[in-house]
Structure 1
Amino acid sequence: MPLLGFVEQLGLGAMVTIEVAVLSYLLALLVGTLFALATVRRRPIVNAIWQVYASIFTGVPSLLVAFLFYYAGSGMLASLFSVVGMRVNIEVNPFAAAVVALGLVYGAYIADIVRSAIHNVPPGQFEAANVLLIPRPTAWFFVILPQVLRLALPALSNMWIVVLKDTALISLIGLKEIMTYARLASGVTKEPFIYFILAAAFFLLMTGLTYLVTQRIEGWTGRGLRRAAPAREETARAL
């Protein structure tokens, strides 16, 4: 196959990598945010469920979780449906296994990030919402969560990069993403340097785009805030 043919396959693999990373991150963000909101206050049952979930998915490598979902996912789903008397045979493909595995693993980490950001919101914001008689869902959506986003954004952007890079491991369950095609092209052409460098350039490009987008979002979430001058500037002014 000509060189351009392999480059085209790398492009197709890159699109699959982006799809898996985006869907996994959205699932992790949803799961993490729900657990964070549910565990802000101490509820014995909810906290017990959270402890079990966090212990499992932070203690087991994401690749092993992907293997479990890929090879045993069909059996687990059949068992769940059999509880309600339904016989369902659902085949779990590598794409679905990758999305669910990465989403559940990193959902545990995002839950800690979002919960910490909630605790760092000034208590006066909650008190002001109560004094103004703002309905609780409205206060959370329009007052609290925007501030949580601003506080958690640096850690959330780093977590996105981690999820993106972990998609390279998922190629081991048969998902045809960029690393799969890079290995295939390297084996056929005996030029591993070229194709692995192209794969590395893709991840570096995505990291750079993440940095630019994060800067834009930080500017948007930081509107109206007075930022403290750096210590060096304060010292220079004092001198």
Structure 2
Amino acid sequence: MELLALGDTGYGDELLFGAVITMKLAVYGFLLALVFGLALAVFALKGKGPRWWLFRVYASVFTGVPSLLIIFLFYFGGAEIVRGLLSPLGIRVKLDVSPFAAGVAALALVYAAYLGDLIRGAILNVPKGQFEACEALSVPRRHLWFRIVLPQALRLALPGLANTWIVLLKDTALVSLAGLNDLIAQAKIAAGSTKEPFMFFTAALLFFVLISSLTLPLVRQVALRLERGQRRARV
């Protein structure tokens, strides 16, 4: 009841607004990381040659550097990076990087390294007979990837994708240090104004627990759908 009363003074709305920002940050970052990670997985699928070494360098950098440092790099130096890339082309732009954009870009690039390795391993675990059969039947490559290989790889990678989503969701709290008014930042402001840190930080904690808990049944439903037609081993 006390929390609801504080909501009448604006803190409930502020927490809700912060929760929406946190969810947008997590969803956009994860979707971009998934797309980029898939591209990296296909790019380095052979496991040898220049592509493989480029992928290993990328993965080593973004998995070995703290996510917070990447967020700061994009927030404070993102405009300079873009200008540096475009200036050789004769393109001059005036750009201001918002905390939200910096957070999405940083989380996407960091977790694309993890997802690229995960998806690559899943693709390699798809039976080689699937590729050979498609080649023998002259199946177009787009059908081979989008209708045959990737659905099977997604089924294999699903537990890892779910774990990565939960870890990325927790890392969204780091973006508040770059000035984003997400749930953590709003809870901190409310706690400082009311001198009730336990209440507001507990509310933020419950939000993350709730989203993580809702992820599990959703993943279970997706797994059941992807497993249709799979032969179950009898015990």
The worse-fitting range, judged by mean Cα deviation, of 97-106 and 204-213 is 204-213
Say whether residues 1:103 and 2:92 are aligned partners.
Answer: no
Q: Aligned partners of 1:200 and 1:180: how far apart in 2?
A: 13
2:228 alignment partner, SS class = coil
Say whether residues 1:35 and 2:44 are aligned partners.
Answer: no
2:71 alignment partner, SS class = helix
The 5 Å alignment of 1:15-30 reads 15-30=20-35
**Could you tell me how far 1:51 is from its partner in structure 2?**
2.2
**Could you tell me how far 1:208 is from its partner in structure 2?**
1.4
Tell me the alpha carbon deviations over residues 23-69 of structure 1, each in whole angstroms, 9 at most, x when there is no partner: 00011101110010111124633223212211211111110000000
Aligned to 1:67: 72
Q: Aligned partners of 1:76 and 1:112: how far apart in 2?
A: 26
Q: Aligned partners of 2:85 and 2:231: how far apart in 1?
A: 52
Amino acid at match of 1:94: P
Say whether residues 1:56 and 2:61 are aligned partners.
Answer: yes
**Could you tell me how far 1:131 is from its partner in structure 2?**
2.0
2:90 alignment partner, SS class = coil
The 5 Å alignment of 1:1-239 reads 3-4=6-7, 5-42=10-47, 44-229=49-234, 234=235
Q: Aligned partners of 2:228 and 2:153: how far apart in 1?
A: 14
Q: Aligned partners of 2:47 and 2:22: how far apart in 1?
A: 38
TM-score in terms of structure 1 length: 0.93
* 2:45–2:52 contact (8 Å) kept in structure 1: no
* 2:126–2:153 contact (8 Å) kept in structure 1: yes
Tell me the alpha carbon deviations over residues 92-132 of structure 1, each in whole angstroms, 9 at most, x when there is no partner: 11000000000000000000100010111111111221222
Provide runs of 4+ in structure 1 moved above 3 Å: none
Q: Aligned partners of 2:45 and 2:69: how far apart in 1?
A: 30
Gaps of 5+ in 2: none
2:180 alignment partner, SS class = coil
Percent of paired sites with the same residue? 48
* 2:75–2:97 contact (8 Å) kept in structure 1: yes
Tell me the alpha carbon deviations over residues 137-168 of structure 1, each in whole angstroms, 9 at most, x when there is no partner: 21111010000010000000110111111001
* 2:15–2:183 contact (8 Å) kept in structure 1: yes
Q: Aligned partners of 2:162 and 2:47: how far apart in 1?
A: 28
Tell me the alpha carbon deviations over residues 146-197 of structure 1, each in whole angstroms, 9 at most, x when there is no partner: 0001000000011011111100111000000000011111111111111111
1:188 alignment partner, SS class = helix
Corresponding pairs, count: 229
1:40 alignment partner, SS class = coil
Q: Aligned partners of 1:147 and 1:125: how far apart in 2?
A: 10
